[in-house]
Amino acid sequence: MAMYILSLSIADIAVLCMVPMLLSYFLDGHWRFGLIGCKIFFTVENINKLLSVAILTIMSFERFLAVSRPFYWLCCRIRRKRVSNALGVVLVLLFFSVLLCSPMIYYADLKPLELLYDDGSVESSTQTLCGSDLPDHVMSLFICYMFVLGFVLPLMFISLCYFFLIQHLRKTRSSFQECWPRGQGMFVTACTTKVVRSVLRVVGFHMICWGPFWLFVLIPIIEYFQLISRVPTALDNDFFRSLRMISSFLPYLNSAGNWVFYAAMNRELRDAVTVLGNCSRISTNFGSNQRQQKNGSISTM
C-alpha cells in the first residue's frame, strides 16, 4: 500500500506543478513555454487522467482485501516481495497510460492565434496556442476510451469495492454485537458509521471533481456524431464558457485533496477494524470461558 500511496503522491504533485502553466495560459491568452513545455503539459495532464485513477482503483481493492480477507492478504505479503510487486503494478499501469495517451501527446503542438474580423478576414498574430491537432475521428475515439477507462470503469470498480467493504464491516459488527456489554455496541456502530461517511466523501469528491470535467469533454463527441443538434449553440455563451473553465481546474483540485480524504478514510477504517478485531477476541475468550465452565460442571456431576 505504501508504494501505491507514494506513486499517487508523485502523480498528484506532477499535476499540481502544471497549475502555474495553466493559470498563465488562461490569464495571458497565449502559451509562453514553448513546444517542449506544451508536450510536457499534455503528457502530465493526460497520463494523470488514467494513472492516478488506476492507482486509486488498485488501492480500493487492496483495502477491501485487507479488511475482508486479512489472512490471505497477509500470506501474500509474506510469500511475495510486496514492494517490488506493487512497483511492478505501477509500472504496468504507467506503461498502458502512456500508450493510451500517446496520440494526444504526439499531436500536441504550437499554433498561431488567429484573429477573426467582422468582415470575415483572418489574420495570424504573434501569439501562440498550445493544443492538439488530432483528426476529428481520432479525437472522438480518444475521448471515448479515455472517458470509459479513466472515469466510468474505475468509478464502478471503486464503488463496488467500498460497497462490499462496508457490507463486510456491517456483517462483522452484527456478528460480534452481543460481546459488548452495557451499550458499548453503540461504539462499534459509531465506528462503522464513520467509515461509511468517509467512503461516501471519497467517492463523492471523486465524482464532483471528475464528473463536470468529463461532461464538458464529451461535448465535442455530441457535436461530432450530431447526437443533439442544439448543444454547441446552447453552450456558446459566457456563462457556460466560465463553467467549462472551472471544470478544467477541478481535476487539479482532486489531486490537491486526495491525500486529505484518503488519510481520513484510512484512519476511520483502521479504527473500525481495530474495534471489530478486539470484539472478535473478546467473543472468542467469552466462548472459551463458557465451554470451560460447562465442562467443569459436567465433571463435578
Confidence of residue 84 (pLDDT cuts 50, 70, 90): low
DSSP run (H or E) holding 131: strand 122-132
**Closest among 169, 174, 177 to 194, alpha carbons compared:** 169
- Of 135-139, 172-176, 205-209, 269-273, the range with the lowest mean pLDDT is 172-176
Q: Rounded to an integer, what distance in angstroms lies between the CA atom of residue 141 and that of residue 245? A: 23
| Mean pLDDT score, 285-291 | 46
Q: Rounded to an integer, what distance in angstroms lies between the CA atom of residue 212 and that of residue 219? A: 11
Q: Which three cell numbers stand for residue 228?
A: 443533439
The answer to whether the beta carbons of residues 52 and 150 sit under 8 Å apart is no
Q: Which three cell numbers stand for residue 223?
A: 457535436
What is the pTM (predicted TM-score) of this model? Answer: 0.79
The domain ranges of the chain are 2-286
292 C-beta neighbours (distance < 10 Å), count = 10
The DSSP symbol for 24 reads H
* pLDDT tens-place string over residues 223-253: 766 655 555 555 667 778 888 888 989 999 9
The DSSP symbol for 179 reads G
Amino acid occupying residue 83: V
pLDDT at 299 over 50: no
Q: Rounded to an integer, what distance in angstroms lies between the CA atom of residue 103 and that of residue 132? A: 9
Q: Per CATH, which fold does 2-286 belong to?
A: Rhopdopsin 7-helix transmembrane proteins (1.20.1070)
Confidence of residue 148 (pLDDT cuts 50, 70, 90): very high
Q: Which three cell numbers stand for residue 9?
A: 503522491
Q: Which three cell numbers stand for residue 279?
A: 470484539
Q: Rounded to an integer, what distance in angstroms lies between the CA atom of residue 291 and that of residue 238? A: 75
91 C-beta neighbours (distance < 10 Å), count = 11
Q: Rounded to an integer, what distance in angstroms lies between the CA atom of residue 44 and that of residue 51? A: 10
Please report the pLDDT score of residue 89 as a whole number. 87
136 C-beta neighbours (distance < 10 Å), count = 10
